[in-house]
Amino acid sequence: MSTNPNKALWEKGDFTQLAQAMRGSGDGLVESLGVTSGMKVLDLGSGDGTTAVPEAQRGADVLAVDIASNLVAAGNARARELGLANLTFQEGDASDLSDLDDDSFDLVVSIFGAMFAPRPYDVAKEMVRVTRPGGRIVMGNWIPGDPTLVAQILTIVTKYTPPPPEDFVSPMTWGVEEEVVERFTAAGVPRENISFEPDTYVFAYDGTASEYLDIFRNYYGPTMNAYEAAAANGREDELHAELDALFNEQASESNGVTTIPATFARVTVEVPVER
């Protein structure tokens, strides 16, 4: 087991299991980014390629970077199976991309990825550094306190897990506009080049809402930890009942497929030509 808690958290589970329900929205999101053939794209916190695969399928030259070695392996297996020679996954940390050169990418994409890295100011600085002048950064970030699925999972699991260390900065702060603006302006981007817009991601799972919760329970590091902590305090059933109610409230089902929409912040940063 890794001694880096950020890496250990994501290697603990198997995000590929959840990602099965994210492919459609991932493809739609990439469609909206105007990815074209030959574009150099960095997909950061890529998981097994929910957005990196469609970027490569549109002809971009894609480097996918993720901290979890199991997801890097799963991503490379997907790229091979799909015959995508223009897509490579490698291990790396969004808060320190020192093995990547300055000004290397036309587009840096991070959908619910870099938000989980420690040291958010370093993350913003690194994303700006590796983007070419005139290039673009697009992040998808969950929003704290939002009434939809992912933010509510976090609100619930927080009640069952021990408090984090004092210097821990919540990933959800990437869903607060002022924080995002502060981080990118500190990295040298003018305020007017940063936009922050609500958008919707739809999970589409081939099964019931309660079965999709079981996937979170068994394969998603943050929820696995919450179940373990709750079990240690004899509160596992209570946690499960809260999450099960949440998943079922948020879901609609049609032809055996459960869909759950979730609101996120789409952050777009135009990296200035002069910096």
Q: Could you list the residues that contact ligand SAM (CB under 6 A)?
A: 6, 10, 15, 19, 22, 26, 45-47, 50-51, 66-68, 71, 93-95, 111-113, 116-117
DSSP code at position 3: S
- Of 214 and 236, CB closest to ligand SAM: 214
User: Measured from the CB of residue 56, what is the shortest distance to ligand SAM in angstroms?
Assistant: 14
Nearest to 30 by CA among 4, 7, 8, 56: 56
Whole-angstrom distance, CA of residue 7 vs CA of residue 69: 9
User: Measured from the CB of residue 190, what is the shortest distance to ligand SAM in angstroms?
Assistant: 26
- Of 167 and 192, CB closest to ligand SAM: 167
Whole-angstrom distance, CA of residue 29 vs CA of residue 189: 24
User: Measured from the CB of residue 138, what is the shortest distance to ligand SAM in angstroms?
Assistant: 12
- Of 116 and 247, CB closest to ligand SAM: 116
User: Measured from the CB of residue 195, what is the shortest distance to ligand SAM in angstroms?
Assistant: 20
In the chain, the amino acid numbered 217 is R
DSSP code at position 14: -
Distance in Å from the first CA to the final CA of the chain: 41
- Of 4 and 233, CB closest to ligand SAM: 4
- Of 67 and 251, CB closest to ligand SAM: 67
What secondary structure, in 3-state letters, does 124-157 show? HHHHHHHEEEEEEEEEEEECCCCCCHHHHHHHHH
Residue 145 near residue 89 (C-beta atoms within 8 A): no
User: Measured from the CB of residue 18, what is the shortest distance to ligand SAM in angstroms?
Assistant: 8
Nearest residue to ligand SAM, by Cβ distance, number only: 47
